[in-house]
Structure 1
């Protein structure tokens, strides 16, 4: 009798757990569906397209959204390497789509583009110059497909490296350039970021942080910036609010793709997979990036600067912007942001784009 009772109890428990799992799965599907419905473009003159285009010899995913096709196009070049914006664009982008057609793009080795191309075909092409040419090809594709003379080039973090290269190589394609979390000198960024973390660790008596940071000091010094060193160096500045201001972690961003209407649940894994695939291959070039000697920039340039950014610290960008000659230049400070400006201050992002960037697409000088 006791055994039968125990068996029945176990069956009931298993059935209840299964019911809970099924309910959770249904709730998850409904949550994603709600986000999809909220972000759906319903305006007759709008555009909402997600498709693969032949870029740089492989298929690369583009995600095009806007309430009015007549609006200027922003080509947004994501960070990482291989940190696509498509799966988190739903968190901040919808208001921008009332004034711009926004194009996000999964770069080679990233997200859906990583998923849909053979790794052995792509691995040898992961070079900064190839990403520069990809950016140019995407801009040319968009001009032709949507009937635009030029597009606005906007880039975040790693994406500022190929985007700056594209602007310098083909300025005729772009109304202007907007940099967020701009990389001017990788080694200088790493030095400033490390010193910030070390100072915070000393100030707060964080023995764990001090031990880890001192294990790679001086950083970067004269030693190569390896994957292991850069991971250690990035951990503590981000812990002290250098990625998201006032936050030691950023689950809103790293967890955001699970609710994306544009990435299936099984696609979310491609984000980390793409990051691992690209980082070691791009790192030797990435750490040598230095735009500080560029004295003349051929198109208008606007830099969005996070006051608390210690992932790509703002000091090198601020210094470069002071000395560079450009048709128009503007620094915009985001006082409550670190590295994730559109996510942290989406309202000011929109207002700043309208004030300083949209006029460029209309042939006007911003005031």
Structure 2
């Protein structure tokens, strides 16, 4: 993997420096799997364990939220690697060869990222944090390359993805019926329909779920805009591209990724595992996560519940999330 050279003017932007001679704060585009991908590495001490953040989606870069809610604490205890995956966030490229948007290619990309950051930090292992779609990518990688992984941390943990989509749809429909939101109920029944979904019907279903959960309120939307406006590495332009990038990824990858069933493909991991679950997660219901966790064989399995969180504990309960990562998990990582 080399620093990318392209006819397109790829500008990685800047990230604020971190005081201290042993700190690292760098951002760049790298040629990963033959395409430009955005990578940022930040940490107060290069001797700290490497932590690679695997965002959700596919197609939802969460770097801006991790930087806003979690970076101040995480970057003291870890050297944090923020990676916008192929086709996501600042790595989005409409000219990308669509045939490369496959699960196998993403695993290959991740392997290149792991090798790159390990070489930069003079380390042999990384800790993987996988959220939602990232919670599929993480276990698949850890099962394939256990020698490169110190620990796996899952949040919004998916097991049987098809079962998860069915459960999410049924919850959304039943909640609309319970509240007598007839318009949403009829739309779910007559327009969206039951899974499997295409990109259009999936986004409609998720939008209905967001309305039921209160995630489309004026205050919530205003908060998201403020996060993007105040983020040193991001701008409102990144937010404006959100749905376009999500739809792009879902259209290309949804059929393949929703066929993944970790109960069958990754029944065992050879690394310590931790699961940070929102008690009120309606996107990946807790019972779906626990179905996988209970059958998974691993040297250790520890579950931390976030009673006031939905799908994103790192945003819903950031203080507890940060404390769990730094004070509970970090001491257990070699």
TM-score (norm: length of structure 1): 0.80
TM-score (norm: length of structure 2): 0.87
Aligned counterpart, 1:122: 97
Q: Is the 8 A contact 1:133 1:166 kept in 2?
A: no
Q: CA deviation at 1:315?
A: 1.0
Whole-angstrom distance in 1 between the partners of 2:192 and 2:237: 40
Whole-angstrom distance in 2 between the partners of 1:283 and 1:242: 26
Whole-angstrom distance in 2 between the partners of 1:75 and 1:145: 14
Q: 7, 10, 26: which is aligned to 1:49?
A: 26
C-alpha spacing 1:304/1:243, structure 2 compared with 1 (3 Å): farther
Aligned-residue Cα RMSD (Å) equals 2.6
Whole-angstrom distance in 2 between the partners of 1:37 and 1:126: 28
Whole-angstrom distance in 2 between the partners of 1:331 and 1:256: 29
Aligned counterpart, 1:252: 223
Q: 177, 186, 189: which is aligned to 1:202?
A: 177
Aligned counterpart, 1:24: none
Q: 55, 67, 70: which is aligned to 1:90?
A: 67
Q: CA deviation at 1:248?
A: 9.7
Structure with the higher fraction of residues in helix conformation: 1
Q: How does 1:1-367 map to 2 (within 5 A)?
A: 40-92=17-69, 93-115=71-93, 119-215=94-190, 219-220=194-195, 224-241=196-213, 251-253=222-224, 256-293=227-264, 294-362=266-334
Whole-angstrom distance in 2 between the partners of 1:122 and 1:269: 23
Give ranges in structure 2 of 5+ residues lacking alignment: 1-12
Q: CA deviation at 1:194?
A: 1.8
Whole-angstrom distance in 1 between the partners of 2:119 and 2:240: 33
C-alpha spacing 1:227/1:270, structure 2 compared with 1 (3 Å): closer
Aligned counterpart, 1:14: none
Which secondary structure does the structure 1 equivalent of 2:31 belong to?
A: strand
Give ranges in structure 1 of 5+ residues lacking alignment: 1-35, 363-367
Whole-angstrom distance in 1 between the partners of 2:95 and 2:204: 29
C-alpha spacing 1:128/1:121, structure 2 compared with 1 (3 Å): same
Whole-angstrom distance in 1 between the partners of 2:176 and 2:147: 47
C-alpha spacing 1:121/1:138, structure 2 compared with 1 (3 Å): same
Aligned counterpart, 2:7: none
Q: CA deviation at 1:263?
A: 2.2
Which secondary structure does the structure 2 equivalent of 1:215 belong to?
A: helix
Q: Is the 8 A contact 1:83 1:275 kept in 2?
A: yes
Q: CA deviation at 1:268?
A: 4.5
Per-residue CA distance 1:184-236 (angstroms, 9 max, x = gap): 1222111211222222222221111211122257622xxx4222322232222
C-alpha spacing 1:88/1:217, structure 2 compared with 1 (3 Å): closer
Q: Is the 8 A contact 2:27 2:38 kept in 1?
A: yes
Q: CA deviation at 1:265?
A: 4.7
